[in-house]
Amino acid sequence: MYLQNVKNICEIRGLNYADLSRLANVSRATVTKWFNQGGKKDWVNIETASIIHLANALNIPAYFFLQNRSLLSHYQTAFLWDSLYPNMEAFVKAAREFRFPAIARLVQVCGFHESQTLLGKKIILEFDRYKKLIKPARRKQLEILWPLYASQIHLPSHTSRKKVHH
């Protein structure tokens, strides 16, 4: 398993070693061993059952943990192109803190579905507050899709106000 993928998830979701051990159905000592082994080479051998438990608990495909982080270089370029964030760790921290520039960048690059999977329905609920930070062409695409995503989480509609009879 590529440990950097686990580190990224931990940073985004605010997980610690105890959380990982519970989610992967292993001891805390086992998780510590993963991080100690993966320190230099980023690859650790773990049982398939542990990967499956972890993937199911996090609601992500198990193969995610088997992908080399170098495959993420496209995302690094997309997220860091203008030096708004000095590195991926800073970007992830800002996204986790739900800072609008980071959220806008995440949604611009990954779309609603992936972004919502990472950070929850707040991605959809707060769209009106951060959409102006998204590049205009992409924002237009997202504005078309937004009502579909909003309807799936039962947002109160601005147009469905009850009429008051006098």
List the Cα angle 65/71/75 in 5-degree steps.
105
pLDDT at 137: 94
pLDDT at 79: 78
17 falls within a domain: yes
- Three-class secondary structure of residue 166 per DSSP: coil
Q: What is the pLDDT of residues 132-163, one digit of tens each?
A: 999 999 999 999 999 999 998 865 555 444 44
- Residue scoring higher pLDDT (38 or 79): 79
Q: What does the block give as tokens for 66?
A: 């088997």
Q: Does the pLDDT of residue 68 top 50, yes or no?
A: yes
pLDDT at 161: 46
pLDDT at 37: 82
Label residue 122 by pLDDT band (50, 70, 90). very high
My answer on whether 147 and 76 are in the same domain is: yes
pLDDT at 151: 92
CB 20 within 8 A of CB 31: yes
pLDDT at 40: 62
* Proportion of the chain above pLDDT 70, given as a percent: 85
Average pLDDT over residues 27-49: 84
pLDDT at 160: 45
Q: Does the pLDDT of residue 123 top 80, yes or no?
A: yes
My answer on whether 57 and 77 are in the same domain is: no
My answer on whether 29 and 101 are in the same domain is: no
My answer on whether 51 and 115 are in the same domain is: no
Average pLDDT over residues 29-50: 83
Domain boundary among 17, 35, 67: 67
Q: Does the pLDDT of residue 43 top 60, yes or no?
A: yes
My answer on whether 39 and 23 are in the same domain is: yes
Of 89, 86, 58, 84, nearest to 108 by C-alpha is: 84
My answer on whether 79 and 111 are in the same domain is: yes
163 falls within a domain: no
Q: Does the pLDDT of residue 38 top 80, yes or no?
A: no
pLDDT at 52: 93
- Measured CA to CA, the distance from residue 157 to residue 16 in angstroms comes to 38
Q: Does the pLDDT of residue 6 top 60, yes or no?
A: yes
CATH number at residue 15: 1.10.260.40
- Measured CA to CA, the distance from residue 91 to residue 85 in angstroms comes to 6
Structural domain boundaries enclosing 51: 3-67
Q: How many domains does the chain have?
A: 2
CA dist list (Å): 4 to 20, 34, 38 = 14, 11, 9
